[in-house]
Amino acid sequence: MGHAALGLELPCHKLPPHHGLLMTLYQGQLLGCYPQRTGRLLPPRHLGRELITLLAQCEKRLRERLKALPNGHAVLAQHLVERYQAWEKQVRANYLTGHYLRIVQSECFVCWHLPEYMRRQLERQQAPDWKGDILTIAVVLPITPCLRLLDKVSAYHHAPGRNATGHWVQVPDAHVQACLCAGCLVVVVE
C-alpha cells in the first residue's frame, strides 16, 4: 500500500536534496527518524481544464475587443495582443504544469515518509477540542541563501500510497511553527 507522508512548502527555490531530517516525538520521547521521499503538490484535474477554458474565454474577449476597435488603431491592437500573449505564456508556465498547486517558482516542496498511525494522530490532534497527548514532528533543514520569510512555511500530510502526489491535506497554520536555530531551519508540526 505504501507509506503516508508529511510535506513542507518552503519559501526557497532550491534546497539540497536529502539533507533534511524528520523526527517524531511523543511525550518528549523520540519515536524515530524518517527518510525523505519524492512527492509533489498536484492541482485537481478539473483545475487544469477550468484554466484552459478561462484562457479560451479571455482570448475570445480579446478578439471581440480587437474587432470593436476603430480603424487606424493598429498600434493599440498590437500592444493588446502582445500583452495578452505575455500574460497567457506566464499563466501556462506557472499554473498549467503538473508540479504546482499554489507554489510559485520561488518556493519548493519537500516530503518525508511518515507512518500511517502518526498521520492519523496528527489529523486527530488538529481538532479544536483535542485534549489528549500531542505527537510532535520536527523537521531540521539546512539554511540556504534563498530562504526567506519563515511565516510562509506550510505543512501538509498525505494518506498512504505508492507515491506522494495528488491530494495533500494542509495542516492548519496554528499547528506549524518555524524558527532558525544553530544554523538550521527547524519546523515543528503538532
- Read out DSSP for 121-142? HHHHTTSTT--S--EEEEEEEE
Q: Is pLDDT larger for residue 144 or for residue 37?
A: 37
Report strand pairing: 164-166 vs 169-170: unpaired
Q: Can you name the residues that pair with 165 across neighbouring β-strands? A: 40
Residue 57 has pLDDT above 90, yes or no: yes
Residue pLDDT, tens place only, 127-161: 888 888 888 999 888 877 777 666 678 888 888 87
What's the pLDDT band for 16 if we cut at 50, 70, 90?
A: low
Residue pLDDT, tens place only, 103-116: 455 467 888 888 88
Residue in the block written with cell 512548502: 9
Residue 168 has pLDDT above 50, yes or no: yes
Residue 183 has pLDDT above 90, yes or no: no
What per-residue string of b and e applies to 63-84 under the rule 16 or more CB within 10 Å gives b? Answer: eeeeeeeeeeeeeeeeeeeeeb
Alpha helices in 18-145, H assignment, sequence order = 45-68, 74-95, 116-124
The closest of 149, 167, 147, 150 to 158, measured between CA atoms, is: 167
